[in-house]
Structure 1
Amino acid sequence: MITHVALFLCTLMAMEGVGYLAHKYVMHGWGWFLHRSHHEEHLGTFETNDIYLLVLAAAAITLIVLGNSGYDPLQWIGAGVAAFGIIYVVVHDGIVHRYWPFRPRPRHRYLKRLYQAHLLHHAVKGRENSVSFGFLYAPPLRTLKRQLRESREAAGRGEEGRRSVLTAISGCSTSRQTEPTE
């Protein structure tokens, strides 16, 4: 039983690293053609980026089924993958992007930091020079602001790009806020 719980929790934690790498190198790399929809205005409930969540769900279901078919540890690994997907939907889609009808606002310091880090991630047009690729962990905002500023300077962007980054940076105060800046 302890082994099962350990497998579940280790998988859940490891999925943040998997998510970070997939977001940075797949979604902002060769898989941009699907992820682009997440960085643009969209109408309706679904976007092509949701295909990534379906792939994650298929992996979790496959692992759980294989685990139930004989190799028990796989079901706990699959449960960890599924739990990450559920937490992702709640935090990312519900709290950060507020795609749900009731639009919850982050009140806790941790959730505010995730929210503000994701705003900085979306401050960049296109797939290059983004920051904060994690889903459930965000570096300190001052670190992300510095990275964003440095990536803009290194890319030699024009004044318009500089202004959009400065607007995003100024909108993400590092002090405690009762309401996140939008």
Structure 2
Amino acid sequence: MNEILGFAGLLLLGFCGMEIISYLVHRYLFHGFLWNIHESHHTPTHGWFELNDLFSLFFALVSVGLMFWGAGDPLGSVAFAIGTGIAVYGVLYFIIHDLFAHKRFMPFKSDNKIMRLIRHAHQRHHQSADKKGHEPYGLFLFPYDKYNQENR
């Protein structure tokens, strides 16, 4: 039982850590010296692939690498648990960010209040296509009450 709780805690750490890392990388690197790649995400038209997708591929490789490294003892491996947390973050990011917020690939609609708030906050980030950028830079961490009031 302790092994499962430990795994769940590390998985959650991987997930939450990914949101913090995503925020920092997005704000200071993507809107900094990596803007020439990230800019493809801020253009009005998107195809099946945009140069910015390389960042998702990088994080997916980190996740798979950690899971592969810890595959010999999945429940007892810190690497496997954190890699799984990063993978869960990546799947939710893809569903909420790419499919729901940007309507890429197989878009869908939802009346879920939290998903609508996330989309609204993300649209605020995209209100300008310049390098300076706007808050919020994270996908899940932002002042929900502020965007809830704006969305009424």
Moved more, 37-46 or 89-98: 37-46
Where structure 1 has 5 or more consecutive residues not aligned to the other structure, the ranges are 144-171, 176-182
State whether residues 113 and 141 of structure 1, in contact with CA within 8 Å, keep that contact through their aligned partners in structure 2.
no
Structure 1 ranges of 4+ moved more than 6 A: none
Q: Note if contact 2:125-2:133 (Cα within 8 Å) is conserved in structure 1.
A: no
- Please tell me the root mean square deviation across aligned C-alpha atoms, in Å: 2.0
TM-score (ref. length: structure 1): 0.73
Deviates more, 1:62-71 or 1:10-19: 62-71
SS at the partner of 1:68?
coil
Match of 2:120 in 1: 116
In the superposition, the TM-score normalised over structure 2's length comes to 0.87
| Residue 67 of structure 1: aligned partner | 70
Shift of 1:133: 0.4
Instruction: Give ranges in structure 2 of 5+ residues lacking alignment.
Output: none
Deviations 1:119-147 (A, max 9, x none): 1111122111411101123324647xxxx
Are residues 1:107 and 2:84 paired? no
**Residue 117 of structure 1, CA deviation:** 0.7
Distance 1:129 1:46, change over 3 A: closer
- The structure having more radius of gyration, on CA atoms, is 1
Q: How many pairs were matched up?
A: 146
Q: Does 1:22 align with 2:25?
A: yes
Q: Is 1:11 aligned with 2:21?
A: no
Residues 58-97 of structure 1: pairs in structure 2 closer than 5 A? 58-69=61-72, 72-97=77-102
